[in-house]
Structure 1
Amino acid sequence: MADASIVVVLVLVAATATAAVATRDPARQALVLSVLGVVLAVLFTVLQAPDVGLSQLAVGAALTPLLIMLSVRKLRRRARTRDRDGDG
């Protein structure tokens, strides 16, 4: 039973990672990256490494996507300001 759960989670990791690579919009990519972080945390927990899973959950599912979203937001604001001011 443990082997089957590992295979299922590995397939989920592969599918989520493929979705993260295939997504073009940075905001959507951050969301998919967050889901990938959760799936990786589950994988680490299934592989009996709960401490690594908790670290992955904090960094991969929360912190990294948050930083990406804040960066995207700032870049989009800066682009709107340039377009409005005509600095072009």
Structure 2
Amino acid sequence: MADAVIVVALLLVAASATAAVAQREPARQALVLSVLGVVLAVLFTVLQAPDVGLSQLAVGSALTPLLIMLSVRKVRRQARAKDRAR
């Protein structure tokens, strides 16, 4: 039973990582990266590493996608400001 749960978690990680790489738009990449962070946290918990899972949950599914989204937003605002100045 435990082996089946690990295999399912690994398949979910592989699927979400592939989905993150396949996205072209940075905003969507950040959202899929957040899902990948949650799935990795589940995998770490299944593998009996709850401390690593909690760290992954905080950094991988919340902080990193947030920083990416803020960066994308700032770059888009700067591009719009340059277009208006022309």
Smaller-chain TM-score range?
over 0.9
Q: Cα RMSD over matched residues? A: 0.2
Q: Which runs of 5+ in 1 are unaligned?
A: none
| Counterpart AA for 2:84 | R
| Counterpart AA for 2:82 | R
TM-score, normalization: structure 2? 1.00
- Partners in 2 of 1:16 and 1:80 — Cα distance? 32
Map 1:6-85 to 2 at 5 A.
6-85=6-85
TM-score, normalization: structure 1? 0.97
The Cα shift of 1:20 comes to 0.1
- Partners in 1 of 2:72 and 2:11 — Cα distance? 30
Q: Which runs of 5+ in 2 are unaligned?
A: none
CA deviation digits over 1:21-52, x for unaligned, max 9?
00000000000000000000000000000000
- Partners in 1 of 2:59 and 2:75 — Cα distance? 22
| Counterpart AA for 1:53 | G
| Counterpart AA for 1:44 | F
Identical-pair percentage: 85
